[in-house]
């Protein structure tokens, strides 16, 4: 009998340990259960597009420019639309694409009164010149593109112009650098010589010789000393030098 009790005692102890382990795990599991957290409001944009999106701007029914982007967002408390990247195709009055602009990011308002492009801005003009700047701002009120930052322009002839400040029409057809302009000109001597020739030809065409200047040339003076005209600044006197 004593042997049976000795055999059961370890087993009962083992079950006791096991039961305590189960109870402890249950109590720990109960402690990990937390009450539901109150609902937290997450701010989200009112308008969000994460795929290719097109925005068109018209002037009196004619397509002026088209903006293409891969990300667009607008918040409810703001009238500003943020886009990235920026690809803008610019059209002329007959609907032909004449120039384009690209940038890392951009912003505009819902009424399209301005478009602001910033970050590695690059534009190509209708005449083939390229423009690089940190930012460019188009204003619908005067239909001009401007920046106050550093700008670098490579003309259609390969000239490199750089300076501070830039102004252009919306089609980048007529532009100018505002200050601190420096440049490198290709074949400068030859081009200046050609320009001088063009200006001389233009002056000849604009100012043709008069009819009086086309009269027969005067007869050449005789080789006889008595008929030779006196040099300018001298006056001949009769019998000069005779006693």
Q: What is the pLDDT of residues 153-180, one digit of tens each?
A: 999 888 999 999 999 998 898 999 999 9
pLDDT at position 46: 80
Give the per-residue pLDDT at 206: 82
Q: In this model, does residue 130 exceed pLDDT 90?
A: yes
Q: Note the pLDDT of residue 231.
A: 42
Please say if the pLDDT value at position 8 is more than 70. Answer: no
Q: Which long-range contacts (CB under 8 A, 24 or more apart) does 44-49 make?
A: 45/73, 45/74, 45/75, 45/76, 46/74, 46/75, 46/76, 47/72, 47/73, 47/74, 47/81, 48/72, 48/73, 48/74, 49/73
Give the total residue count for the chain. Answer: 243
Task: Report the share of the chain in percent with pLDDT over 90.
Answer: 38
Tokens 């937390």 correspond to what residue?
34
Please tell me the distance from the alpha carbon of residue 205 to that of residue 35, in angstroms, as a whole number.
96
pTM above 0.85, yes or no: no
């Amino acid at each position: 009998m004593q042997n049976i009790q000795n055999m059961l005692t370890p087993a009962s102890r083992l079950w006791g340990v096991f039961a305590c382990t189960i109870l402890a795990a249950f109590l720990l599991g109960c402690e990990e259960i937390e009450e539901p957290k109150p609902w937290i409001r997450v701010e989200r944009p009112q308008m969000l597009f994460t795929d290719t999106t097109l925005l068109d701007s018209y002037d009196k029914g004619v397509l002026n420019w088209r903006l293409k982007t891969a990300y667009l967002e607008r918040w409810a408390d703001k009238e500003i639309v943020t886009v990235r990247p920026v690809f803008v195709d610019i059209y002329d009055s007959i609907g032909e694409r004449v120039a384009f602009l690209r940038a890392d990011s951009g912003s505009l308002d819902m009424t399209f009164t301005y478009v602001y492009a910033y970050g590695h801005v690059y534009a190509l003009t209708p005449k083939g010149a390229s423009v690089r700047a940190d930012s460019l701002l188009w204003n619908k009120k005067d239909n001009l593109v401007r920046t106050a930052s550093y700008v670098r322009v490579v003309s259609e002839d390969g000239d490199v112009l750089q300076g501070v400040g830039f102004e252009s029409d919306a089609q980048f057809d007529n532009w100018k650098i505002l200050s601190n302009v420096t440049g490198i000109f290709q074949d400068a001597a030859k081009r200046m010589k050609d320009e001088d020739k063009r200006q001389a030809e233009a002056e000849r065409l604009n100012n043709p010789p008069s009819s009086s200047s086309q009269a027969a040339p005067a007869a050449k003076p005789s080789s006889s000393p008595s008929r030779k005209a006196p040099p300018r600044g001298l006056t001949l006197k009769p019998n000069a030098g005779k006693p």
